[in-house]
Amino acid sequence: MPSDVLTRFFERLKFIRWAKIYPPDVPSNDPDRFLRCQDALHLEFAALVDRAVAAGWRADEVLTTIIELADNHALMLAARPSSKKSRLALQPQP
């Protein structure tokens, strides 16, 4: 792999690693809130996938693992006795 490609890759990772996750800028009942959350998390998500692939994992393995981790985390949040707010957040929104 040419060194300029590697340099650009690591520069991109450095930028993404310090990318800010912006807080919500709309109320919790705004119909675009879910899309705004995706926008806020996209760079960090892409950076995580890029780092895992750079470490040698296949992209399909990484994505499947992230889905499994997200599912397990959602189940954990829903199971907490004191997490009524979390359980409500996991319910489908109209």
**The pLDDT of residue 78:** 85
What's the rounded Cα separation, in Å, for the pair 58 and 69? 16
pLDDT band per the 50, 70, 90 thresholds, residue 27? very high
Q: Is the pLDDT of residue 83 over 60?
A: no
> Which has the higher per-residue pLDDT, 93 or 28?
28
For range 44-53, the mean pLDDT: 91
pLDDT band per the 50, 70, 90 thresholds, residue 6? low
For range 16-20, the mean pLDDT: 61
